[in-house]
Amino acid sequence: MPEEVKIRKFEVKDRAAVRQIAYDTALMGKPAGLFFQGQETISDAFSLYFTDYEPGSCFVAEINDSIVGYLSGAKKKVAAEAIFNGRIALPLLLKALKSGIFLSIKNIRFIFSCLIDLFKNGVHTPDFKQTYPATFHLNIKDGFRGQKIGARLIHAYLDYLKIEKIPGVHLATMSEQAANFFLSLGFQQLYKGKRSYFRHILHRDVPLYIFGKRL
Ligand SMILES: CC(C)(COP(=O)(O)OP(=O)(O)OC[C@H]1O[C@@H](n2cnc3c(N)ncnc32)[C@H](O)[C@@H]1OP(=O)(O)O)[C@@H](O)C(=O)NCCC(=O)NCCS
């Protein structure tokens, strides 16, 4: 008999599982360890705002009491960024400095790649926060993809945003596969650029897509 997938709201007890999946899927579905050494830093950077400051906008997929995927959302990206920049970024940087992770060759290479990308591509991407105020991250554990779990998490989130009267949602992704997934769910491509952060590992630039959906 197929195992039953339960889609439900995030609870505090799911925090460690969400942080682990965030780390395990950070490089377009592959583990962050391929480009960065420091699991705590990556999990903090990718999930701390969502789990600790806006848990009510997060959803998880559970099979047999085990979390196999999550969607971490923010109803208003403007407010999320203000909290990240004002309350999370500096303590996170100090914690990371203290842990010594910036002495790692892997991390120095990644930071160097980011600086080259900044020089080549600049920081500017179009801003869609007015028309599409909400945003989210979505990741399904390897081994559980292609079973409609991602689609079910998105539908739960979109229903929630509609109840909250949020008029639109947008997200960024560097994954070609995820791009096809979002198109299949009725999202529109709003922007396509490229980034070279991972050139030292992948030996190519990656696309940067922004997708949006009006609600
Ligand atoms: C991208 C991801 C979230 C999709 O979730 P999923 O549970 O694997 O996808 P689903 O099974 O719900 O697919 C839903 C629909 O999208 C389509 N789809 C999924 N992956 C696709 C792909 N690679 N190419 C084309 N269509 C795809 C499915 O065919 C399905 O359409 P259908 O209903 O017409 O059959 C998941 O694979 C994942 O976490 N990948 C790694 C991390 C990542 O890239 N996250 C996104 C960053 S924001």
Q: Which residues sit with their C-beta closer than 6 Å to ligand 1?
A: 25, 28-29, 137-140, 145-151, 171, 173, 175, 177-178, 180-181, 184
Q: Whose CA is nearest to atom 35 of ligand 1?
A: 148
pLDDT average, residue stretch 184-212: 93
Q: What percent of the chain has pLDDT over 70?
A: 99
pLDDT average, residue stretch 146-173: 98
Tokens of 2: 């197929």
Tell me: the pLDDT tens digits for 77-89? Answer: 999 999 999 999 9
pLDDT average, residue stretch 111-120: 87
Q: Which residue has the higher pLDDT, 70 or 117?
A: 70
pLDDT average, residue stretch 81-108: 93
Tokens of 32: 């962050």
pLDDT over 90 (residue 123): no
C-alpha distances out from residue 49 to 65, 80, 92, 109, 170, Å: 24, 7, 11, 26, 17
pLDDT over 60 (residue 119): yes
Compute the distance from residue 54 Cα to the ligand 1 centre, in Å.
Answer: 25
**pLDDT-based confidence at residue 124 (cuts at 50, 70, 90):** confident
Q: Which domains does the chain have, with CATH numbers?
A: 5-214 (3.40.630.30)
Considering the entire predicted model, what is its pTM?
Answer: 0.94
> What do you get for the CA distance between the two ends of the chain, in Å?
36
Tell me: the pLDDT tens digits for 19-76? Answer: 999 999 999 999 999 999 999 999 999 999 999 999 999 999 999 999 999 999 999 9
Our measurement of the distance from residue 177's CA atom to the centroid of its chain's CA atoms, rounded to an integer in Å, reads 15
pLDDT of residue 157: 98
